[in-house]
Amino acid sequence: MRSVFIVLFLLTMAHGAHAQQVLVARWEGAITPVAASFLEGAIERAETENAMALVIELDTPGGLDASMRKIVKAELAADVPVIVYVAPGGSRAASAGVFLTMAAHVAAMAPTSNIGSASPVQMMGGAMDSTMAKKVTNDAVAYLESIANDRGRNADWAARFVEDAENITADEALAENVIDIVARDRTDLFAQLEGRVVELPSGPKTLRTAAIQVEEFEPGFVTGLLGLIADPTVAYMLLLLGVYGIFFELSNPGAIYPGVIGALAILLALFALQALPVRAAGLALIALAVVLFALEVYVASMGLLGLAGVVALVFGSAMLYEPGADGMRLGWEVIIPATAVTGGFVALCTVLAVRAQRRPKATGLDAMIGESGRVSQVLIPGVGGKVVVHGEIWDARCAVQVDVGNAVEVTAIEGRTVVVRPVDGA
């Protein structure tokens, strides 16, 4: 019985230790499926460990509507206080970040941060006619207003963020009841959170953050890798690196290393692209460009196939990502230099490949064609004779008679016999 009490005591102590812990998850960048996976994992971890609260330090230009809604759902259903803190100074909660901030149990901002510009066009992407734009705008307004009303925040400003793409400072957001706290840093934030009561699905909870233990929530290996490479520009560059490697391997069979590096780069690019809003048509055009570049090496097209490949690459690059979502664009300042370098690379490889194909063979029997030798036994038409080529004695035949000591040139090889012709007037 005594051991049971000891176990219960230890469990109570462990529970209390976790209850005095605040988990901090920092996200800087676009709201993508990677962000959704990371922040959902942070909320789940905070619930599992029964942490006092989860602080999400946020700095985002916005992102994808689907990813934003997944995070908002997790915030609204969380049975642990979720504090979204737009920090450090100079950070922003734009577009999708507005929804994440207003969905938190406590919304906080650093003094020099800003919030707003939640136009649905920025999150949905793609060209929309007036009717469709009105529908998605009304949907976003209703969604953000419902979040604001649920959290007791200013629903009028929620509508203005969406309809008018308004943007305000941290002090203005506090004055307009958009957020709850303006804090200089974490210490200031925890001091202002002390004693605040938040409503959870399981009931009210009083925050005790005066003397708190902070634990950083770090992404796992896969999430960290995706976060590193799931940048539109990085993923695109990996894709181009893969194209270079595969093309070089095709134009120089047996090089091995370019092919291996290219294949790894393409696999990493595809891994990253699964977390980005990719258009199938853009990928198809880039794949077509690779095929055209490969054909340029083997088909005498006078550069037309290579030019067509460059055009396909330009259009494929421009169409690779869905337009509109903040942080998800691939600018022309990236596309034009990248395609120019690719075109030059393909042209150089094509020239080198053509030169290699026209270069005389340096090994094997075919390498003897064009070599000179000396007659060691009289060459008689229809009978043959012997010649010495590279210090080796060969059976030979010739269309005319050539006496011993005269020079000959190898014109063909037939089995073990070389066909020669006289040179030097022999």
pLDDT tens for 205-241 read 999 988 788 999 987 777 777 777 877 888 888 888 8
Q: For residue 301, give both structure tokens.
A: 């097209």
Long-range contacts of 250-259 (CB under 8 A, 24+ apart): 250/294, 250/297, 251/294, 251/297, 251/349, 251/350, 251/352, 251/353, 252/349, 252/352, 252/353, 252/356
* Domain map (residue ranges) of the chain: 2-219, 223-358, 365-422
* Spans of the chain below 70 pLDDT: 1-19, 121-129, 251, 275, 297, 300-302, 323-329, 349-350, 352-367, 424-426
pLDDT for res 300: 64
Q: How big, in percent rounded to 5, are the helix, strand and coil portions of the chain? A: 50, 20, 30
**DSSP H helices in 32-109:** 33-48, 65-77, 96-102
Asked whether the beta carbons of 235 and 225 are under 8 A apart, the reply is no
366 phi, psi to nearest 5 deg: -60, -20
Pairing of strands 417-422, 392-397: parallel
pLDDT for res 365: 62
Q: For residue 208, give both structure tokens.
A: 């005790």
pLDDT for res 220: 75
CATH number of 2-219: 3.90.226.10
pLDDT for res 361: 54
**188: exposed, middle or buried (Cβ count in 10 Å: 0-12, 13-18, 19+):** middle
Mean pLDDT of the chain: 83
Instruction: Say how far apart CA 259 and CA 242 lie, in whole Å.
Output: 8
Domain 365-422: give its CATH architecture. Answer: Beta Barrel (2.40)
Instruction: Say how far apart CA 289 and CA 98 lie, in whole Å.
Output: 40
pLDDT for res 7: 45
Q: Any idea how long the chain is?
A: 426
pLDDT for res 60: 93
**353: exposed, middle or buried (Cβ count in 10 Å: 0-12, 13-18, 19+):** middle
Instruction: Say how far apart CA 111 and CA 307 lie, in whole Å.
Output: 53
pLDDT for res 20: 72
Neighbouring-strand partners of residue 25: 56
Q: For residue 75, give both structure tokens.
A: 């915030």
Instruction: Say how far apart CA 291 and CA 271 lie, in whole Å.
Output: 22
pLDDT for res 324: 53
Return the SS3 of 409. strand
- Element counts in the chain: helices (H) and strands (E): 15, 16
Roughly what angle, to the nearest 10 degrees, separates helices 332-358 and 304-318? 160
Residue with tokens 């708190």, as numbered in its chain: 212
Asked whether the beta carbons of 162 and 123 are under 8 A apart, the reply is no
